[in-house]
Every structure is written in C-alpha cells, then in structure tokens.
C-alpha cells in the first residue's frame, strides 16, 4: 500500500453521493440544532468547505466538489490551509479504519494518480 504524496488530487475532486441542494439543506438544519447527534454524518458539516464542480450521473459518487481549503505551501506543494483541524473524512482518507468490508487488496483510492494506489 502506498501513502499520501501530497498531490492534492482528493482535495480538488471530492466525490460525494449528495447533491449541493441536499448538503445545503442538511447543513442549515444542523446549524439550527441545539446539539450534534453522534450519528449525524460529518459530510453535511463540511458543506461550507466545498465548491460544487459538476455532476457525472454515470458514477456511484456523481457529485464532484473542490475543497475551498486546498492551497499550496511556500514550496509549491499542495497543502491544506486547515490541516490541523481537517474533517475526519480527510484525516482518514482513503478509508475509515472502522469500515468492516473494505477490500484492501485493490486500489485504496478512487483517484487515478493518488499516492495510496502506488505500490511503494
């Protein structure tokens, strides 16, 4: 299994099953809630971080977004401007450890060119 090579591919093409309207409605519901329920998906909380790019209905995760916190550091390498407090989906990319049926024998990342897919 490879490792992150700071190519920024995942930040520039965040793929989700939820369309922008649903993310917005869920986020607006969440900000009015008195507390966060533990089962509430973090995906809805990251709505303000995402910029919608396009939809591809032929894919399982058809909605493509770009993270607004994607940037480059002083040396020109892709970087996260909120790295220390990035969401779980970013910290645990390309998978959550607690996913019981994850196939770890094939490519771990859906992104071509991702360092996690490199044989290292």
- Lowest-confidence pick of 42-46, 64-68, 82-86, 115-119: 42-46
Cβ atoms of 67 and 14 closer than 8 Å: yes
Three-class secondary structure of residue 14 per DSSP: strand
Q: How far is CA 106 from CA 11, 90, 91, 102, in A?
A: 21, 20, 21, 10
Per residue in 60-93, pLDDT (tens digit) is 889 999 999 999 999 999 999 999 998 888 888 8
Q: What is the 3-class SS of 48-95, one letter each residue? A: HHEEEEEECCCCCCCEEEEECCEEECCCCCEEECCHHHCCHHHHCCCC
Distance CA 35, CA 91 (A): 23
pLDDT of 40 strictly over 90: no
């Amino acid at each position: 299994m490879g490792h992150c090579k700071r190519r920024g591919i995942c930040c520039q093409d965040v793929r989700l099953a939820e369309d922008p309207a649903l993310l917005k409605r869920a986020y607006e519901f969440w900000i009015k809630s008195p507390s966060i329920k533990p089962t509430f998906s973090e995906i809805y909380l990251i709505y303000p971080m995402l910029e919608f790019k396009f939809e591809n209905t032929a894919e399982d995760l058809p909605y493509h977004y770009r993270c607004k916190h994607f940037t480059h550091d002083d040396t020109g390498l892709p970087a996260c401007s909120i790295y220390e407090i990035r969401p779980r989906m970013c910290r645990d990319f390309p998978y959550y450890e607690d996913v019981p049926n994850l196939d770890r024998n094939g490519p771990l990342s859906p992104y071509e060119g991702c360092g996690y897919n490199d044989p290292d």
